[in-house]
């Protein structure tokens, strides 16, 4: 078994440890944030962590009403623009905590007046020492280059930050505590996925589609397919896909769709029906029979999870798909060519 698959399997425990270890910290930070009352949140990340930030943008705006921006590090590191951030909360997200451009951007945001928070897997990292508040993901060492357990742990911390900014609303504690169990049951799809990946051995390109809170998962699965399987995977929201890219779909064109029940489900159902008419090759990740019946290959999530809490359990089948497809193609998902665990850019 690859390291990537082993680390995918570790996620329920990682999520539970992270939730339990950082809950009180989030409660303490909640009191600080209530006094500061930030009017803007800036998320700073690259790569897989940037996909976590994409999720954070949707989550934080939906649950808190505070506008959220995804930082462009080059504005800080190359153009040295001074931004007005005196009432902002800047959140740096980095698995290693050693990404140079992330740390420089956070440092600059701090100099521009922002309160800074870090999310990292290494308590001794540069990012941890730099920020006002640090949240540690309890993922342990991640040995596969392809990040899996650190991504979902970052999402869990973002849930905690959202809860803190909202003053820990009723029902959140119970719902967040269920995510590790939902994730464990998503792992049970591994046998089904192993049966279907042979069909995609020669896949060279595909589209990955989500919307709303699962839009970030479209980005995350796409990057996993690119780095572990060398598949050119384009990622879209269902709305953007219908605004032009659907023109490239012909018979047999592969499209992978995340379709959790909730606000975005109707659009995902409409797109899946259209793709069926176009005879596309669709892999649908959902709990809902009304959309799974249109799929070429259905990955049925066992629990019916509202889209607010679905992104972590829903990315797991995608992670497994990428890891097993890489093995089917005769590739190692743990050591993608031209990549290393820590990427330094400015």
Predicted pLDDT of residue 1: 86
Q: Which tokens is 129 given?
A: 């020492």
Predicted pLDDT of residue 338: 57
Q: Which tokens is 214 given?
A: 């699962």
Q: Residue 245 above 90 pLDDT? A: no
Each residue of 15-62: pLDDT tens digit? 999 999 999 999 999 999 999 999 999 999 999 999 999 999 999 999
Edge-to-edge strand list for the sheet holding 281-286: 232-237, 205-210, 254-258, 281-286, 297-300
Q: Residue 346 above 70 pLDDT? A: no
Quote the CA–CA distance of 214 and 285 in Å, as a whole number: 11
| Domains of the chain listed by start with CATH number | 3-169 (3.40.50.10490), 190-328 (3.40.50.10490)
Predicted pLDDT of residue 259: 98
How does residue 331 score in pLDDT terms, banded at 50, 70 and 90? very high
pTM: 0.95
Q: Rounded mean pLDDT of the chain?
A: 94
- Residue environment code for 174-194, b if the CB has 16+ CB neighbours within 10 A, otherwise e: eebeebbebbbebbebbeebe
Predicted pLDDT of residue 169: 80
Predicted pLDDT of residue 171: 81
Q: Residue 339 above 80 pLDDT? A: no
Q: Residue 342 above 60 pLDDT? A: no
- For residue 11, give the 3-state DSSP assignment: helix
Q: Residue 344 above 70 pLDDT? A: no
CA distances from 20 to 176, 177, 325 (A): 10, 9, 34
CA distances from 234 to 69, 91, 153 (A): 23, 27, 24
């Amino acid at each position: 078994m690859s390291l990537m698959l082993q680390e995918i399997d570790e996620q329920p425990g990682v999520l539970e440890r992270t939730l339990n270890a950082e809950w009180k910290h989030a409660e303490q930070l909640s009191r600080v944030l209530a006094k500061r009352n930030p009017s803007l949140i800036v998320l700073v990340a690259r790569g897989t962590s940037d996909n976590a930030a994409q999720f954070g943008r949707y989550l934080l705006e939906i649950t808190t009403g505070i506008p959220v921006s995804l930082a462009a590090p080059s504005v800080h590191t190359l153009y040295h623009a001074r931004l007005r951030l005196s009432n902002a909360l800047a959140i740096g997200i980095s698995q290693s905590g050693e990404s140079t451009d992330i740390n420089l951007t956070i440092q600059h945001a701090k100099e521009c007046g922002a309160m800074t928070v870090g999310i990292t897997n290494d308590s001794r990292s540069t990012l941890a020492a730099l920020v006002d508040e640090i949240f540690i993901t309890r993922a342990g060492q991640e040995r596969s280059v392809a990040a899996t357990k650190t991504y979902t742990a970052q999402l869990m911390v973002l849930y905690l930050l959202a809860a803190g900014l909202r003053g820990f609303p009723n029902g959140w504690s119970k719902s967040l505590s269920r995510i590790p169990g939902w994730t464990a049951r998503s792992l049970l799809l591994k046998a089904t996925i192993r049966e279907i990946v042979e069909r995609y051995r020669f896949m060279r390109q595909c589209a990955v589609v989500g919307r709303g809170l699962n839009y970030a998962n479209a980005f995350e699965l796409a990057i996993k397919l690119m780095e572990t399987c060398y598949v050119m995977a384009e990622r879209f929201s269902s709305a953007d896909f219908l605004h032009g890219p659907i023109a490239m779909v012909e018979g047999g064109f592969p499209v992978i769709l995340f379709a959790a029940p909730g606000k975005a489900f109707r659009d995902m159902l409409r797109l899946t029906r259209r793709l069926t008419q176009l005879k596309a090759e669709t892999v649908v990740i959902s709990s809902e029979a009304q959309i799974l019946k249109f799929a070429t290959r259905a990955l049925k999530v066992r629990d019916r999870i509202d889209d607010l809490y679905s992104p972590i359990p829903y990315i797991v089948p995608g992670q497994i798909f990428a890891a097993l497809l890489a093995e089917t193609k005769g590739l190692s998902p743990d050591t993608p060519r031209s990549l290393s665990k820590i990427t330094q850019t400015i």
